[in-house]
Structure 1
Amino acid sequence: MLSRKLPIAALSVLAMALSACSDDGKKQQGGMQMPPPQVGVITMKEQTVPVTTTLPARAVAYQFAEIRPQVSGLITEKAFKDGALVNEGDLLYVIEKDTYQASLAAAQANLEKANAAVPGAKENYERYQRIVNTGATEIQVTDAKTRYDTALAEVTAAEAAVKSAQINLNHAEITAPFAGVLGVSNVSVGNIASPSAQSPLVELNQLDPIYVDMYESAGQVLAATGKYADFKTETDLSKVKVTVQLDDGSTYDVTGNLDVSARTVDESTGTVNLRAVFDNPDHVLLPGMFVRATLLITEENGYLIPQLAAQIEPGGKVTAQFVTKDNKVETRVFDQVQVSNNSWIVSKGISDGDRLIVDGFQRLAGGVSEVTPVPAKINDKGVVVDDTSSSGSNGDASGSSSDATKASGSNG
C-alpha cells in the first residue's frame, strides 16, 4: 500500500511547484509596461491656402453642328475622311448640280427678257407724258405708266429668281460652317440628300476651345453670403480658375476659367449649371467625357487638416486627433471648415506648433491615451508617404500610403 501512495504524493508536490512558478511568471509579466504606441504626426503652421470646391463635370463641344443639306439631290462627292479635322469653309459634300445650273440659266434668261422690255415701256411712257392733252389722253398716260412699272417689277422678280437659283446652286456644295472635327458620315456617294431626312449627313464638333459643364447645389450658387456671392458678372466669373482631373486620375495640364453660370435651377436635381472654358489644342478633352473639376474660389489664412486624417461628424462637423505637449491624445471638433483640394481649412481651434496625428490610427484602438509622436510626411494629395530621414529605427514614423488608407478607414 505504501509503494502506491508515494507516487501520488510526489505528483501533488510537483503540481504545487508548477502552480507557484506559473503565478510568479504572471506577476512578472504583469509588472512589465508596454511602451506607448508610435503615431505619425505633422506640425501645424498657419498659411495662406486656396479655398476650392470639386464638382462632377462633363466636357461639351464649344460649337456643335448637324450638317444637313438645304437642297435635294444625288450626292456626287464626299470630300473628307471620317473623323478628319476641317477648317471653316472646307468642302464636305457635293450634290448633283445639273438641275440647279439649269434653273439658274433659265432664271438668267428671264432676267434678260425682263430687262429688254424696260426701255420700250419707259420710252412709251415718256412720249405720252410729252403729248398729254395735245395728242394723248390721261388714260393713255396712265396705261403707259402701268406698263412701265410692270416691266420694272418683272425685272425685280427675275433678279430675285436668279439670286434664288444661285443660292440653290451654291447649296449643292456643302461646306464646314466652322473649324472642328467631323464624325462618321451617315451617307456616301450615290445616296440621295434631302433636307427632310431624319439623320444629318455628318456631325461637326469644335474641340478647341472646349467647355466643361459642372453642376453645383443651387443653395451654394444662389446664397447671398455663399462662396459664389462675389461672382455675379462675367468679369468676376473669369477670375475663378478651374482644373480638371481625368478618368485615369491624371490632371489635365491646362487651367481653364469659369465662363458662365446658369440663372435657372434644374428641378429634378436642384443644381445650377456652371460652365468653364479650356484651351484644348491636343484634343485631350472630348465631348461627353466625364471628369472632376476643381474650382479655385478664393484664398484664406488657416491651417490644413488632410481629409484622410479627419472624420466628418453628423451636421458637417470635422473631428481630428492631436498629440498634446505631454504626449496625450486629444480629439478636437471643428464646426467651421472649408475645402482646399484634399484638405480641410480650419481657422480656429489650432495654433502654430500643434501636432496633428496623420498615421497610426489603428494603434489607438481600445482607448489608448498616451502615444509616442514621430514626425511624418504627407504628399500633395494628403496621403502619408515614406520619409526615411524621419522614420526612426523601426520605420514606424511615417508609414506608407497603405497605412494612410487604413487610417482613413478607421476614421471614416
Structure 2
Amino acid sequence: MTLPAAAQPTPGRGGPIAAGIILLEEAQVPYSVTLPGRAVAYEEVDIRPRVDGTIRDIIYEAGRKVEKGDVLFRIEGDTFEVDVAAAEAEVARAKAAVTAAEATLSRYERLQGTGVTIEDVETARVAVLQNKAELSSSRAALKIAQLNLQRTEIQSPITGIAEVPNVSVGAVVTANQSDALTMVTRLDPIYIDVEESSKRLAEVRAMIEGGTLERGEDLDLSLTLENGAQYDQKGTLESPGTRVSTTTGTFEFRIRFDNPERRLLPGQFLRVKIELGTTRAVLVPQGATARAADGTLTAFVAVDDIAEQRELTEHGSYKNAWIVTDGISAGEALIVDGLTSMRDGASLKTVPVNISDTGVVTEQTADDSDEG
C-alpha cells in the first residue's frame, strides 16, 4: 500500500520509518492443536488355508469388495469327500454295534439266574458302554471330516477389499502356512493413530484448571489430507491414550473417520486438528510476524513512536492469525506494514491501517476512524 503523505519517512538518512499499525483486541477464539497421524485399517486379516491341498479355483476379483462369508478360494475336495464317507460308515457301524450290545444286555438281564450269571450281565453292560464310547468317537471323527471338507472353501471372515492373490490355481498349500493367500482389508471406517506429548497434555490441563481454556462439550476432530485439502468427514475419539512411551514421552490415541469413498488408505500420513475448546487471547496476523530458525515467533509493536520487537507465545492459529497468549497485550499497536526495513528501537512515523482476514493492508478511512 502507499502511506499518506503525512506518514512518509522524513528525508535524509536515519529518518523515521513509515509504519502501518493496528490496535490489538482480545477475543474468545477456538483453541486447537494439530498433530501428525497415520492411517490404520479398521480391520485387516491374512487369508490362510486350514487344510492341506491344491488350489482348484480362485473365486474373487482382486481390488473388489467382498462380503463376510464370501468364498475366495477352493481347494480340491475329493480326498475330503472320501474321508467324510468313511467317517459316516464308521458312525453307522458303531450305531449297529451299540444296538447289538444293548440287545445282548437286555436278553442277559431276562435270563439272569437261568444259565446266565451276574458276571455275564456285567460284561454285557460294559460292552454297551464301550460301544457307545466308540460311537461318540466316530461321530467326532465325522464332524472333523465334515469341517475339513467345509474348509476346502476358504471364506472371507470380514467385509472388505481383497488384494491380489499370492498363489495361482494348481498351487499346493498347507494348513496354517506362514505365507498368506491374500489379505482382506476393511477401509470404511478407518482409524487415524496420533501421538501427543505428555508435556502438552499437562499444559492443556493447567489451562483448563486455571480458567484460561474453556473446555467444549465435545472434541471437534478434523483431518487434513496429504495434498493439503480438508477432509469432509468429522472424526470420533475411539481410544484415548492411557500410557506414556518411555522413549518418546508421548501417548498414542486413536480416532475413527468414516471413509465411504476410500480416500484414506492405511499407511498414509495425515494431520489431525483437535479443537479442545475456546480461550481468550490476542489474535496477531501471521503476516506481521517472523519465525526464527529456532522456532521463536516475533513481532514489532509501536511504543511512543519507537519500534519494539516482542517474542510471542502462541498456542495454534485461527484463520490467518496466531493465537497469542503472552508477549503482547490487547490495546497495543502492532506494526503490520513497513516491516521490510523494521528494526528494534527504530524511530517510527505511524499511521492507522486496516488488515483483512487474508492479510491485505489498506489505509484507514475517515469512516473507519468514526467506527473506531
TM-score between both structures, scaled by the size of structure 2: 0.81
**Match for 1:255 among 234, 251, 254?**
234
> Greater strand share, 1 or 2?
2
Q: Is the 8 A contact 1:75 1:96 kept in 2?
A: yes
Change (3 A) 1:65 1:225: same
Q: Is the 8 A contact 1:220 1:227 kept in 2?
A: no
Counterpart-to-counterpart distance in 2, 1:129 and 1:224: 86
Change (3 A) 1:345 1:392: closer
Q: Is the 8 A contact 1:220 1:228 kept in 2?
A: no
Partner of 1:56: 36
Deviation at 1:308, TM superposition (A): 5.2
Identity %: 35
Counterpart-to-counterpart distance in 2, 1:330 and 1:100: 87
Partner of 2:342: 364
Counterpart-to-counterpart distance in 1, 2:208 and 2:90: 65
1:149 aligns with 2:129: yes
Deviation at 1:260, TM superposition (A): 0.9
1:195 aligns with 2:172: no
Q: Is the 8 A contact 1:302 1:346 kept in 2?
A: yes
Superposed, which structure 2 residues align to 1:78-157 within 5 Å? 78-133=58-113, 135-157=115-137
Partner of 1:338: 315
Between the two structures, name the one with larger relative contact order (CA 8 Å, sep ≥ 6): 2
Partner of 2:264: 285
Q: Is the 8 A contact 2:40 2:190 kept in 1?
A: yes
1:37 aligns with 2:18: yes
Larger mean Cα displacement after TM superposition, 259-268 or 217-226: 217-226
Counterpart-to-counterpart distance in 2, 1:228 and 1:31: 53
Deviation at 1:302, TM superposition (A): 2.4
Q: Deviations over 1:243-270 (max 9, x none)?
A: 2211211111111022113333334333
**Larger Rg over CA atoms:** 1
Counterpart-to-counterpart distance in 2, 1:135 and 1:305: 113
> Greater helix share, 1 or 2?
1
2:340 is paired with a residue whose SS is helix
Q: Which runs of 5+ in 1 are unaligned?
A: 1-28, 230-235, 394-412
Counterpart-to-counterpart distance in 2, 1:124 and 1:221: 81
Q: Is the 8 A contact 1:239 1:257 kept in 2?
A: no
Larger mean Cα displacement after TM superposition, 352-361 or 264-273: 352-361
Counterpart-to-counterpart distance in 2, 1:192 and 1:305: 68
Q: Deviations over 1:18-54 (max 9, x none)?
A: xxxxxxxxxxx97799674244x55533332222111
Larger mean Cα displacement after TM superposition, 103-112 or 360-369: 360-369
2:88 is paired with a residue whose SS is helix
Change (3 A) 1:157 1:306: farther
Q: Is the 8 A contact 2:224 2:271 kept in 1?
A: yes
Superposed, which structure 2 residues align to 1:297-376 within 5 Å? 297-307=276-286, 309-310=288-289, 319-323=298-302, 328-333=306-311, 337-340=314-317, 343-347=321-325, 354-365=332-343, 367-370=345-348, 371-376=350-355
Partner of 1:69: 49
TM-score between both structures, scaled by the size of structure 1: 0.74
Partner of 1:400: none
Q: Is the 8 A contact 1:210 1:277 kept in 2?
A: yes
